[in-house]
Every structure is written in C-alpha cells, then in structure tokens.
A = this chain, B = another copy of it.
Amino acid sequence: MCVVTEGSDPGHGRVMRAIRARRNVRAFSEESIDPSVLKEIVDAARHAPSSMNDQRWAFVVVTDPARLSAISKMGTWADHVGRAGAAVALIVPDAEDPSERESIAFDLGQAAQNLMLAAWEKGLGSCHATIEDGAAIRDLLGLPAGWTCDLVISLGYPADRSILSASPRTDGRKPLDEVLRLERW
C-alpha cells in the first residue's frame, strides 16, 4: 500500500521518513484520486487525538473541478486548489471563547498533520490554503449555522513524482539546536 520507495533517508523508520520527507506540493498531475483513497486519508484525520476527545471537526471532500476552481478564488494563495485532484475542507464549530478557539485550532492541526502524512504515504502531495472569503465557502459547501471553514488542504499526485522518493530537504527549517532546549530554556 506504500508507494513511497525505500532507500531514501536510511536509519529512520517509515513514519519518521514520511515526516522528514513530506513537503508542500502545489503542482499536480491530472490523475484522479480514487474515492477509497480519499476516505482513508480523512480516516487518518479522524484518528487524531483531541482535547477531552471532543473531535470538534468535520471534513468535506471536494473533487468536482468547477467547485475546486471556485475554492481556488477564495484565498490569496489558494490557486493550487484549482489544479488539485481533490481538496479537503476543514470544518470546525464556532466558539466565542478565545481559549476554546485555540484549543479547537490545535486539535485541527493534529488532524491535518495526520491527513497530510497519510496522503504522502499514498503518493499524494498536499498543501494548505487559507480561505479568506468565509461567506463564499459557506455557501459553496452548504455549511449549517455554527460551523466555519477557514482552511482547505489540496491533494493530488505530484506533477514531479520524483519528490516522493527524494531525500529529505536539509534546508527550510530552523536548526534543531535553535528550537530544542534541555531541561531549561
């Protein structure tokens, strides 16, 4: 089931290799994604832990090209959604309390990371898109009152498949020594 080839990044387990190798993908091939694969990817998101196991989330999978194109115009940097094979809209319940909103966002981040890692294992690239036109996506997705979508993740087979088996990038992140402290700051 794993389409990421062996050999890159030796010395690490498969999970760690996926974590290190995954990168955002914004250029996709035109190959469609099997619906069963999309279900599995959302299933990964669903398995994320959440505060008090409240699972304050829902996921709308969009594959219709006209709808993907519409979403791609709802955010400044969302153009990649229009080229994707699918997008998963991340939906959360509204909350007034700022700390509750942060808690919901943290949990959603955990779900999103599961989703993107599972996609990577299936040979799919992914990229976040912030949605700025909340009313437009609410209308497109038919969201009921009390639910909001601020973020979509596009999914697709990378135009350049070689990145799936490439060695992890060594740039693009702060060095470990800069973000890791032992016992005290």
Tell me how many chains of this kind the complex includes. 2
Verify A19–B1 contact, CB threshold 8 A: no
Q: Which of A26-34, A155-163, A171-179 is the interface stretch?
A: A171-179
Report which of B46, B98, B103, B144 forms a contact with A179, defined as CB distance below 8 A. B46
Chain B residue at smallest Cβ distance from A173: B46
CB 8 Å contact bits of A26-54 with B (1 = contact, 0 = none): 00000000000001101110111101010
Query: How distant is A148 from chain B, measured CB to nearest CB, in Å?
Result: 11
Verify A42–B121 contact, CB threshold 8 A: no
Verify A58–B128 contact, CB threshold 8 A: no
Q: Does A136 contact B (CB under 8 A)?
A: no
Verify B59–A142 contact, CB threshold 8 A: no
Chain B residues with CB under 8 A of A91: 185
Chain B residues with CB under 8 A of A184: 60, 140-142
Verify A183–B60 contact, CB threshold 8 A: yes
Query: Mind listing 20 A-B residue pairs with CB under 8 Å?
Result: A14-B121, A15-B117, A19-B47, A19-B114, A24-B49, A39-B180, A42-B176, A46-B176, A49-B128, A55-B179, A58-B185, A60-B182, A60-B184, A60-B185, A91-B185, A101-B101, A102-B105, A103-B105, A117-B117, A147-B185
